[in-house]
Amino acid sequence: MTSSIETLPTPPVGDGAATMERPSPAGARGRRPHLLRWGAATVVWALMVAAVVLSIYSADSNLSKGGWGAALLILLLVSGVPVALCMLAVGLVGIHAIVGNTAVIRVLMDVPFGSMASWTLSVLPMFVLMGLILWSSGATERLYRGSQLYLGRLPGGLAVTTNLAGAGLAAASGSTVGITYALARIGVPEMLRAGYDKKYVLSSVLMSGMSGQLIPPSVLLVVYAGVAEVGIGQQLAAGIVPGLLLAASYATYLVIRATLQPRLAPKVEIPRVTMRERVRITGAMLPIPLLSIVVIGGMLLGVFTATEAGAFGAFGALIIGAVYLGRKKFVKAAGSALVGTASSVGQIMFLLFGTAVMSQFMALSGVPGWLVELVSDMNLSRVSLLLLLIAVYIVLGMFLDPIAMILLTVPVMVPILSVYEISPIWFGVFVVILCEVGMVTPPVGILSYVLHRIVQDDDVRLGNRISLGDVFKAALGIIPVALFVILLLIFFPDLVGFFNVDG
């Protein structure tokens, strides 16, 4: 990716400096209304924040303080303040309002370590490192090319290849954005060159990323397991069947659309290759599937724990990278991957710190218990509750990123799950699918913006004009497929528990 930092022009010196144009008074006056509007908006925002903070301190009951705290959190979030800072600030203000200075000091001393020093979360850096090494090794492109050889002759074959390659890559990386980035750069030019409809192309790339957070290793499932305090191995295993089901549903959707509307995906002639060439291509695509089988299979068979599986996967990725890249390129790629891992994990840990503080404030205020009573009094059935939550999570997904959605909602939802006898393991899969839907839902869906940014590269779009509106239209077209899979899981919950592991 090119840097977004541009070199600033050097100001002239000597005689040329005297000829520099100075901003005219008229131009300065033209900027003043704009600055005044921003200044007025900032003052209004500050007054609103101050009013809500005062309401927290002046509220008569702890429950009211919790309600005003939730209002302050929403106000800060819609203002664009980073999620971790929002939760940390609101949590500290709320705890101070309820208990006082001593409790705030104790929270700042104990919570940072307590929220991060979790055996469950120790697998996180290993899975992130594993994915980053595999991206830089070139194994991604080899898997895509090999899949194209076997799937390219289906209706919409290149799109199906992109989708299922995403599912395969998901088993080696927990990064939805990483999968989308890699397959967009490889697959979009291939499909556009073959005459595929651009929205159909965009749909297939978004699909390839959306199944990525269910098939282990999954960063979102790991984060959920840490917040919900469930076994990491059980949670990762629970995502296997739903992830494969989601990928298969997307592939079926692509084939049906290409069959009913052939203009969307003209038939592509896949060149025939000799048996020797086929063996060579197949061998080149095997490292990722083999590593995934060993990592997932070893975890399911009890050979090693989820944390050990992550360490083994990262070690295997390092070996693959060393073989593919050579010594000099590998050292550079490994260093970049380590920095990227530290950055990604650091961001997640800071979010967890903010969430832990916010959760303590909510617990002190009694909001979770009040919500449990409220939902119980509504006399909703299990299905009605889950349908309501689908709507809630889709709306949240329009404005929040997936990790923020999990950290904000799961601590509140866990007590409600026991009332309706909903397994927290099952609910983890349910939430992650909805988080994936949120990643493509306008107006904030981060995956849609990532894809739009990639396809602005001339080498990717091949002269086609692809707007953000095109990406959003493609995204809205595939959301019903994900909702169909969610409904299947609601009515057939045993699909989630097909694989059982300890821990």
- Tens-digit pLDDT string for the chain (503 aa): 443 333 333 333 444 444 444 445 555 555 566 677 777 878 888 899 999 999 999 998 999 999 999 899 888 887 878 888 888 999 999 999 999 888 889 888 888 887 677 666 777 788 778 877 877 777 777 777 787 778 878 899 889 988 888 777 766 665 677 778 778 888 898 899 889 999 999 999 998 877 767 887 778 888 898 888 888 888 888 988 998 899 899 999 999 999 999 999 998 777 777 888 888 888 888 887 888 788 878 877 878 887 788 888 889 888 888 888 888 888 888 888 888 888 878 887 888 888 888 888 888 888 878 877 887 788 888 999 999 999 888 878 776 778 878 888 888 888 888 888 899 999 999 999 998 888 888 776 778 888 888 898 888 888 889 998 999 999 988 899 999 999 999 999 988 877 665 55
Specify whether 235 is located in the same domain as 343.
Answer: yes
Residues in the chain: 503
Specify whether 318 is located in the same domain as 353.
Answer: yes
Residue at a domain's end among 58, 92, 116: 116
Q: Which residues of 127-160 are buried (b: 16+ CB within 10 A; e: fewer)?
A: bbbbbbbbbbbbbbbbbbbbbbbbbbebbbbbbb
The predicted pLDDT at position 32 comes to: 66
On whether residue 45 sits in a domain, the answer given is yes
Q: Are 337 and 131 in contact (CB under 8 A)?
A: no
Specify whether 387 is located in the same domain as 424.
Answer: yes
The predicted pLDDT at position 18 comes to: 40
Specify whether 228 is located in the same domain as 86.
Answer: no
The predicted pLDDT at position 281 comes to: 81
Specify whether 307 is located in the same domain as 259.
Answer: yes
On whether residue 154 sits in a domain, the answer given is yes
- Would you tell me how many other CB atoms lie within 10 Å of the CB of residue 253? 22
CA 53 – CA 152 distance, rounded (Å): 59
Q: Are 161 and 148 in contact (CB under 8 A)?
A: yes
Q: Are 177 and 227 in contact (CB under 8 A)?
A: no
Cis peptide before 443, with omega less than 30 degrees from 0?
yes
Question: Could you give the number of structural domains in the chain?
Answer: 2
On whether residue 8 sits in a domain, the answer given is no
Specify whether 431 is located in the same domain as 479.
Answer: yes
Specify whether 248 is located in the same domain as 394.
Answer: yes
Residue 99: which domain range?
37-116
Residue with tokens 């299990």: 382
Q: What backbone torsions phi and psi does residue 498 show, to the nearest 5 degrees?
A: -60, -40
Best CA proximity match to 212, nearest among 254, 160, 162, 173: 173
Q: Are 218 and 299 in contact (CB under 8 A)?
A: no
CA 222 – CA 305 distance, rounded (Å): 13
Provide the residue type at 474 as one letter. A
CA 501 – CA 497 distance, rounded (Å): 10
On whether residue 372 sits in a domain, the answer given is yes
Specify whether 41 is located in the same domain as 183.
Answer: no
Specify whether 194 is located in the same domain as 103.
Answer: no
Residue at a domain's end among 116, 138, 157: 116
User: What is each CA distance from 230 to 142, 308, 426, 499, in whole angstroms?
Assistant: 36, 17, 11, 15
Handedness of CA 407, 408, 411, 413 (dihedral sign): negative
On whether residue 365 sits in a domain, the answer given is yes
Residue at a domain's end among 61, 84, 116: 116
DSSP letter for 292, please: H
Specify whether 298 is located in the same domain as 424.
Answer: yes
CA 462 – CA 193 distance, rounded (Å): 8
Specify whether 413 is located in the same domain as 468.
Answer: yes
